[in-house]
Structure 1
Amino acid sequence: MPVLATVALRARDAVKGVWREAAKFGVVGALAFVVDNGGYNLLVFGLPGGAEGGPMRTSPVQASVIATTAAALFSWVGNRYWTYRDQHREKVTQELVLFLVANGVGLAITAGTVFASRQLLGLDSALSDNTARIFGWVLATLFRFYAYRRYVFVAP
């Protein structure tokens, strides 16, 4: 088989593998997004139609941290046992620590966008909070995908 054909087949298989991985990562991420944003909105704004707001209405950054932490734990289970089930480390503790570090950076990115929206821009509506969180979530997701592939879910 000519060298060019071999290289083309290997490239095709690599792209196919990354797309499959990205799709699984995306499904886990989409569900984690629901946990994260649903939790945040319940904590800050309460149930729809509620007049008083949520229990953390005066602490939106802390609410973001709590919601993102819950979503990160959900994400670890989903990614470890589904997306990267053939690539995870045998030492669960080491993997979890690396995962938490990567998610700590992601959490800082997401909470940072809420902080910037609230403190630097002076915005405090549900729309501005959710816009800031979605922007932060997109940036954090790109970082996490890279970190998971490169550092967290790698066979020893």
Structure 2
Amino acid sequence: MTSNTPDTLSKPISPWGAPLGLLNRLILSISLRFGTKAKEVERFLKFAIVGTIGAVVDFGVLNVLQATVLRPEDPNLQLKVSLATGTAFVAAVTSNFIWNRYWTYPDSRSRPISQQLVQFFIVNIIGLIFRLWFVHTLFGPFGNIGVDVLESSGLASGLDDAAESQLGTNIAQFFAVWIVMLWNFFVNRYWTYNDVE
């Protein structure tokens, strides 16, 4: 799915076969400014775009679960927050693996998909463990801060405990996503996808 012609770094195809010409041209024009590091910059930009798609999946699944079957309230508040966060993470990782294998690193398919999938999931499980700890530890304090900010600015008043927990979960998850994205990029680049130049 890649062209190795000297005039382009790659011609991406989405996982379902649709061309991504305009987006690729934008990425290419930015990455070419980095000279000998252009290919790595291209990969990082694609990884960041894939991560953004993953974040949309992540936050979407999290909020759907918290609005329906895993409402962040007692009984089992902590368990519900962890289950919603973990389920959202698995959905996002699955999306990210498919996009990264076929778009960010199309030239890395010299290894079997099963091997890369296992490596990708190991890296992401470590990220998940950190993320669960981070969100579990900080959703309460972030919820308190978030409610204080909303109420003092007049944007909301009288939020119930479930709304405060959901707000705190989203704030904590926002920071965790950025930290884990950097971890995932560097470890996946140099371990999972180390078969690319």
- Short-chain TM bin: 0.7 to 0.9
Structure 1 residue ranges (4+ consecutive) displaced by more than 3 angstroms after TM superposition: 121-124
1:105-120 superposed matches below 5 A: 105-118=126-139
Identity of aligned residues (%): 28
Structure 2 Cα separation of the partners of residues 56 and 86 of structure 1: 40
Q: Does structure 2 conserve the Cα–Cα contact (< 8 Å) formed by 1:37 and 1:67?
A: yes
Separation (CA, whole Å) in 1 of partners of 2:36 and 2:179:
24
Q: Distance in 2 between matches of 1:129 and 1:41?
A: 10
Distance in 2 (alpha carbons) for counterparts of 1:17 and 1:132: 33
Q: 1:21 aligns with which of 39, 43, 62?
A: 43
Structure 1: stretches of 5+ with no match in the other structure: 1-11, 47-53
Q: Does structure 1 residue 81 correspond to structure 2 residue 102?
A: yes
Partner Cα distance (2:130, 2:60) in 1:
18
8 A contact 2:139–2:171 mirrored in 1: no
1:97-148 deviation digits (Å, cap 9, x = unpaired) = 10000010111222222100246x4944332111100111111001000011
Residues 1:30 and 2:70 aligned together: no
TM-score normalised by L of structure 2: 0.64
Partner of 1:8: none
Match for residue 145 of structure 1?
A: 185
Partners in 2 of 1:24 and 1:122 — Cα distance? 30
Deviation string, structure 1 residues 33-56 (Cα, Å, up to 9, x no partner)? 000011001101x1xxxxxxx201
Q: Is contact 2:142-2:171 (8 Å) kept?
A: no
Correspondent of 1:55 among 69, 84, 87: 69
Q: Does 1:41 align with 2:63?
A: yes
Counterpart in the other structure of 1:102: 123
The amino acid across from 1:116 in the alignment is T
Q: Which residue of 2 aligns with 1:130?
A: 170
Listed as ranges, the gaps of 5+ residues in structure 2 are: 1-33, 72-76, 144-163
Displacement of 1:13 after TM fit? 3.2
Q: TM-score, normalised by structure 1?
A: 0.80
CA distance in 2, matches of 1:66, 1:118: 17
- Do the aligned partners of 1:89 and 1:95 also contact (CA within 8 Å) in 2? no
Contact kept in structure 1, 2:142 and 2:168, CA below 8 Å: no
* 2-structure distance, mates of 1:107, 1:32: 14
